[in-house]
Structure 1
């Protein structure tokens, strides 16, 4: 039977770039999660009998919300729910499942790279029928529904056991529990030369994959160890845990320091990689070299043709605005289109659907292609392995060869986390107020050539996004970008992106901090960061 439960709106359920994220305790408020799920169903307007994919990264509170969402789907007219066993589905695997099964959409329960556990973060994101994150028109409609909601519908019976693969029924709806890895692993085999990668590993090539006790553990074990023949133990921290083992599942230089240390040791592995909470981000490390996400995007785009799934070449590249311009130089030299979009994978969706781009990436360690409509951490790792198997060069040699051909873009992102929200808004407002008069100003040896607040008109659907980050561009092409992030759950996160292009190979060996020193100092001066936030240094540098 369907039960209608009275509720009241919450005023803080506006989705960010990756859905709704709050602390677990916040999601546990009466009806909070159910309100948002019902708003999704009301906004999506699904027809009777539609299919819905549900899964998540296994973090604390996932199972409870999944079981509630299943009961609500049964009460809202869905004909089938497809859920990963134990509620597990990586974000790219969920995207693939939506597309493969012709589902009307999917609910992904994750806060991505944010920490988990009872005191950690939780999130709910809706993906549409193309497998990608809901565009702004849909997220706005969801938010509007949350502001007027007065009831939600739920099936009175308990949801079926989701720990066993198979089909059961809940009312008129089929609940199908699937192996979360199988479909995704089969897709990867169609894109990459697994035989060639197996040969590389059999030749003595060593690697390490840190799953960070997050969702990619089962995927990496099946693909890297079972299908590619890497020794048992190649995948470390491979058991998904509700609190990510007490760690922070963000594959960056701070939270993956142990892996990086292994790769910097003289006797360390040849290749190292990590992925995040829900499996859509990646870290690539070679012996003696850490590959920046922006460089990784450019290198993957330049070499994608070496993998069978991309043998015909790529048609275009898309990158988020704060991502370095390294990929732009690949696009120019290869004669393909380059699109600069706002931050958020949803902005790549129309370009991918229209066949305008093949490879996409963000500086925040997200890369992917047209095989799904999400960034895909394990996909990036496998493409790197395919490239190394074909070129039979070290990661360092591949990177340095890329710099020699295209030039090197020195790049850093400085994150100031959990700063006072009012101070953060004041900082951005001050920047906006000064934009019109900034061109021509000199800061040391740097002269501002242009300054703006980035806006974007989608070339496919004509939608417009404004207020996407302040860009300060200097003569010679160096940039500083200021942006408030929408992925945190406490206070505000200010992100400052700093880049400088160096075409001279003789200068490529410089340390990034040295190469960017003047720009780093200038970023504080222009942004008045210390003055307004009290922070002398960023919390994280990537």
Structure 2
């Protein structure tokens, strides 16, 4: 039986760069999740009788919202729902399922790298038929609908047993509970030389992967230990927990300090890596060296042809605007396209679909390719392993050789988390107003060459996305970028990106913060960070 339930709108259901994210108690308000899910369905056309993929990262409240979404999909006319066993589907695995089985779209329940638990974060994101996040025209329509919604449809049938693989007909709709790992692992075997990686591991190569008690645990256990033969224990924290074991599942040097310290020790494994809450981000650390996400993107692009799935080369590279220009150097030398987009993986979708880009990446630990339409943490780890197996060199040797060939982009991100929203907006507004006066201004020995508010003109659909971050470019090629993040749930996060290009290989061993010291001081001065936020220092430096 289908029920139509009267409801009233919530005014705060505007999706950010990765869907709607709020604290769990907000999603537990009467009809809150139902309103947003119905707003998604009301903003789509032509899905009757089609397939919807549903899955999540296993965080707290995941199972409850999956049951709601299944029943609402049935009431709204979907013909089939595919859902991961246990409610589990990593974000890249969900993208693969959508593409492989030609689903109409998918609902992914995740707040990515944000903490989980009864008072922590939750999120709902809609992905379209290409497997990628919904573009702005759809997320805008969802938001507009959410502001006026007055009812939602839901079928009245018992909850689905999510803990066994099965197929059943409920409410006139097929519900298929699937193995969340099998299709994804099979795709990875197509892209990478598992034989070469197995051989590398059999020769004593040691790897350490931290799944952070998040969604990639089952995937990593199956791929690294079972299919590639890494010793038992190579994958740690592999059981997905609703609260991620009380940890913050963000693969950076703060939240993976234990792994970092181990990789810097005398008895370090050869390779260390981690992924985040929903499996779309990655951390790469070699013995004695941390590889920044920007450098990792450039190195993966430069060596992608060593993996079977990319043996014919790449069409182009796309990077988010705040990501360093290291990938630009690779594209220039290789004679392939380079595309600079706003932050948010959805902006890569058109380039990938049009065959203009093959490898994409963001400085926020996200890299991926045209195999799916999401960033993919395990994909990046496997490509690194494939490169290491073929080249027979260490991570530190590969990185230093890359810098010698292309130059080094010293790069750091300073995050000011939980800033008062009005203060953060005031800082950006003040910066925006002074942009015309900045060129020619000196900060110490640095002179501003240009300053703008980045706008993206999509070369495929010709859409324009304004106000994507403020760029201050200095003479000599250095730059500072300011933007507010759209991935948090409390206050605002001010992100400051600092970058200096150094072509001289004799200057490639300077400590990063030291190499950027004058730019860091200039960023403080030009934006008056302390005056606006009261903060003397960033919360996190990566």
Report the TM range for the smaller structure's normalisation. Answer: over 0.9
User: What residue number does 2:48 align with?
Assistant: 48
Distance 1:297 1:454 in 2: 22
Distance 2:77 2:140 in 1: 23
SS across alignment from 1:213: coil
User: What residue number does 1:9 align with?
Assistant: 9
Distance 1:473 1:169 in 2: 59
User: What residue number does 2:78 align with?
Assistant: 78
Contact 1:225-1:231 within 8 A present in 2 as well = yes
SS across alignment from 2:188: helix
SS across alignment from 1:148: coil
Distance 2:461 2:398 in 1: 38
Report the Cα offset of residue 283 of structure 1.
Answer: 0.1
Report the Cα offset of residue 170 of structure 1.
Answer: 1.2
Report the Cα offset of residue 402 of structure 1.
Answer: 0.3
Distance 1:166 1:188 in 2: 25
User: Within 5 Å, which residues of 2 pair with 1:61-140?
Assistant: 61-140=61-140
Distance 1:158 1:260 in 2: 46
The TM-score, its normalising length taken from structure 1, stands at: 1.00
CA offset digits 1:13-41 (Å, max 9, x no partner): 00000000000011001100000000011
SS across alignment from 1:187: helix
Distance 1:464 1:511 in 2: 38
Distance 2:422 2:222 in 1: 47
Distance 1:159 1:28 in 2: 18
Distance 2:182 2:166 in 1: 14
Residue 500 (structure 2) pairs with residue 503 (structure 1): no
Distance 2:329 2:455 in 1: 22
CA RMSD of superposed structures (Å): 0.5
The TM-score, its normalising length taken from structure 2, stands at: 1.00
Distance 2:103 2:358 in 1: 23
User: Within 5 Å, which residues of 2 pair with 1:252-271?
Assistant: 252-271=252-271
Distance 1:374 1:162 in 2: 25
SS across alignment from 2:43: helix
Distance 1:507 1:379 in 2: 32
User: What residue number does 1:239 align with?
Assistant: 239
Residue 30 (structure 2) pairs with residue 30 (structure 1): yes
Contact 1:279-1:377 within 8 A present in 2 as well = yes
User: What residue number does 1:424 align with?
Assistant: 424
User: Within 5 Å, which residues of 2 pair with 1:123-522?
Assistant: 123-522=123-522
SS across alignment from 2:168: strand
Report the Cα offset of residue 351 of structure 1.
Answer: 0.3
Distance 2:47 2:191 in 1: 34
Distance 1:46 1:150 in 2: 22
Contact 1:249-1:276 within 8 A present in 2 as well = yes
Report the Cα offset of residue 44 of structure 1.
Answer: 1.5
Distance 1:243 1:335 in 2: 46
CA offset digits 1:150-199 (Å, max 9, x no partner): 00000011232111101011111000000000000000000000000000
Contact 1:21-1:124 within 8 A present in 2 as well = yes
Distance 1:64 1:55 in 2: 12
Report the Cα offset of residue 122 of structure 1.
Answer: 0.2
Unaligned stretches of 5+ residues in structure 2: none
Distance 1:336 1:156 in 2: 54
CA offset digits 1:264-294 (Å, max 9, x no partner): 0010100000000000000000000000000
SS across alignment from 1:53: strand
Closer, same or farther: CA 512–469 of 1 in aligned 2, 3 Å? same
Report the Cα offset of residue 119 of structure 1.
Answer: 1.2
Report the Cα offset of residue 45 of structure 1.
Answer: 2.3
Unaligned stretches of 5+ residues in structure 1: none
Q: How many residues align?
A: 542
SS across alignment from 1:489: coil
CA offset digits 1:370-421 (Å, max 9, x no partner): 0000000000000000000000100000000000000000000000001000
